[in-house]
Amino acid sequence: MSLKELPTLTSRGGLGGALRFKRDQLGFLAAGVRHHGDLFRFRLLGVPMVLANRPDHIRHILVDEDDRYDKDTIIFKVVRPVLRNGLIAVADRELWRRQRRMMAPLFTPRTIAGFARNMTDETERMLARWERRRQADEALLDVTDEIGQLALRVVNRSLFSADVSRAAQEFERAFGTANSILGSFFRFPFPPLSVPTPRHHRLRQAIDHMDRFVSDMINKRLGEEETTGVPGTPADLLTLLLRSVDEEDGTGMEAEQLHHEVLNICIGAYETTTNALSWGLYLLARHPEVEGRLHDEVDRVLGGRIPQFEDLPRLVYTRMIIDETLRLYSPAYQTMRHAREEDAIAGYRIPAGSNILINSYLLHRHPEFWPEPERFAPDNFAPERVSVRPKHAYIPFGSGPRVCIGKHFALAELTLALAMVARRHRLVLPEDARKVEPEPLITLHPRGGIHLRLVCR
């Protein structure tokens, strides 16, 4: 069967498309879909790109034919100076396989259940701080910053059994700098990161800062006796990483690889979870009818208690709110794959070497699969709707072998934290509230942050 050539999104002059992509990446791609449909190619500063925007394309690339694709592609080249050879960006398939084999047992629902206390304890602490501020009439919260600290504390307690409050704020700042510089470098990759501009110097400093944070935590642990925490509580993730041995060759992780994996877990867990819960609280503030149903469920299921991991299957509507938030504002809203060989998708030729862009901001608004795509409607995730929708219309955690390893961790944390906020409090829009727009950095950040006022229910 002869293959068709992909439609091409052209722009006047080689630089035109790149400049439009830099200015408005999501608008540029949405216009491409309007003109050329769900599969088209374009060039960014000479680099051949293909946008794939249908569930069957995504399943083909990430699941059915994943052997034909790897992560040796621009977006991962952009983030590799930070993430190095850790699980998120590593392109070497053998190294990835070995690391994933060793790390998968650390992220099963059973292991995650042991970390649920970290999630609820830290949320309690945050809410107590919010309540003190409310009583002191300082109830306008910088929600993104607050949730960022919560997410970092939870992942650090789970990794290191440590309270890292002050260091967490500094890590947050360093990550924010790197996310913003690399986000704009991805949209317009010039000049190369090796050119010593003041911005690139700031990036270097931010990376050094995050590296120092991770080395300090690991060195502290190596200097101590191996901790398994209070008897009866699970070993932390660092202990599990230090103990993990590859079943095929019986060896553990090199020190450098361990450093990269710890950093990947911190980064993978921090910004995505922060954005998801911040957007979720913002959407609830704008949709009191959804919030009312959330309160009913939380009251009925918890009866005033603090939730536990075992409550998760009964927090059905709470979870639907999380799922819908991850649809509208998918924090990891784009990924890429590199075609290692020529392939065919939906009868079109995919040339070897193509950089395939998958953008879940667009996919999650595809009108064929989502009625009223822009509306915040948790009922999109009622079981009867999920069962008739193609699975790959919704990929907030990716799919296939490289699906997010922290998915169960994230969903437990998000659901427990949301239920805890809703138990006694509401977050409402301040009087002068403006609509918060998404800012497509490496992750989908709320532009200007989210600021809400805390009130009691």
Q: State the residues that interact with ligand HEM by CB under 6 A.
A: 87-88, 100, 155, 264-265, 268-269, 272-273, 276, 331-332, 335, 396-398, 402, 404-406, 409-410
CA dist., res. 358 & res. 56, Å (int): 12
In the numeric block, the tokens 């990835």 are attached to 96
CB of residue 144 vs ligand HEM: minimum separation in angstroms?
14
Residue 225 or 247 with smaller CB distance to ligand HEM: 247
Nearer residue to ligand HEM within complex by CB, 25 or 139 = 25
Q: How far is the CB of 397 from ligand HEM (least distance, A)?
A: 5
Look at residue 178 and give its three-state secondary structure. helix
Q: Of all residues in this chain, which one has the CB nearest to ligand HEM in the complex?
A: 406
Asked if 334 and 360 touch (Cβ cutoff 8 Å), the reply is yes
CB 57 within 8 A of CB 71: no
Question: Cα separation of 80 and 316, whole Å?
Answer: 37
Count, residues in the chain: 457
Minimum distance between the CB of residue 455 and ligand HEM, rounded to whole angstroms? 26
**Nearest distance from C-beta of residue 99 to ligand HEM, angstroms:** 7
Identity of the residue, 97 or 200, whose beta carbon is nearer to ligand HEM in the bound complex: 97
Q: Which is nearer to ligand HEM, 181 or 326 (by Cβ)?
A: 326
From first CA to last CA, the distance across the chain in angstroms is: 64
How many CA atoms, within 13 angstroms, populate the side-chain half-sphere of residue 247? 7
Residue 330 CB, shortest distance to ligand HEM, in Å, is 6
What's the closest the beta carbon of residue 391 comes to ligand HEM, in angstroms?
15
Rounded-to-integer distance, Cα 94 and Cα 85, Å = 12
Query: Toward ligand HEM, which CB reaches closer, 75 or 126?
Result: 75
Distances (CA, A) of 231 to 74, 174, 234, 309, 321: 46, 35, 8, 19, 36
Shortest Cβ distance from residue 87 to ligand HEM (Å)?
4
Let me know: does 415 contact 326? Beta carbons within 8 Å.
no
Instruction: Please say which residue, 28 or 394, places its beta carbon nearer to ligand HEM.
Output: 394
* Nearer of residues 112 and 345 to ligand HEM, judged by Cβ: 112
CB atoms within 10 A of CB 171: 24
| Residue 274 burial (CB count, 10 A) | 26
Q: How far is it, in rounded angstroms, from Cα 315 to Cα 247?
A: 37
